[in-house]
Amino acid sequence: MPLSEHEQRLLDQIEQALYAEDPKWANTVRISDPRNHYKRRLVKASIGFVLGVVLLMVGVVAPIIPLGVGGFVVMLAACLWGLSSWKRMNGFGGEARPGAPGQPERRRAGRQSFMERMEERWRRRGDER
C-alpha cells in the first residue's frame, strides 16, 4: 500500500534530518546491502583456506606436526565460515525461499517423508494394473 502525501512528506523530512545530523552514517546505511557483507566474508574465508593449505604443506614438508595440524584446523574453520556465509548470502537467513532457482519442485509443494512417497508410488502402481 503506497504512503499518503502527508506520510511521504514526513518520511522525506526525517530522511533530510538524518542526512544533516550524520551524513556518513546515513550514506552507509542507505547503500549497504547485506549480501555485500557476506561476499566480503566469503573472500576472507577463501584467503583463510589458502593460508591453511600453505600451513599444512609447510608442516608436511618440514616435519613440524603441530604446524600441519594447525593448517588443517585453519582450513576447516575457513571452510565452515565460508559455507555459512554462502548459505546466508544465497538464502539470506538460512531459510529456503519458495520458488528459488535450483530448488526441486517436490520441496516447494510440501515435504513428504520417505515412507509417504513410497506408499504413494505403491498406490499408483496398483492403480495402473
Give the pLDDT score at 31: 63
Radius of gyration of the chain (CA): 26
Cα of 91 vs its chain's centroid, Å:
5
Q: Which tops the pLDDT comparison, 123 or 98?
A: 123
- Kindly state the DSSP code that residue 4 receives in the 8-state scheme: P
- Count the alpha carbons within 13 Å of 44 in the hemisphere toward its beta carbon: 11
- Considering the chain, what is the average pLDDT of its residues? 80
- Count the alpha carbons within 13 Å of 38 in the hemisphere toward its beta carbon: 16
Helix (H) or strand (E) holding 48: helix 34-61
Residue 100 clears pLDDT 50, i.e. is over it = no
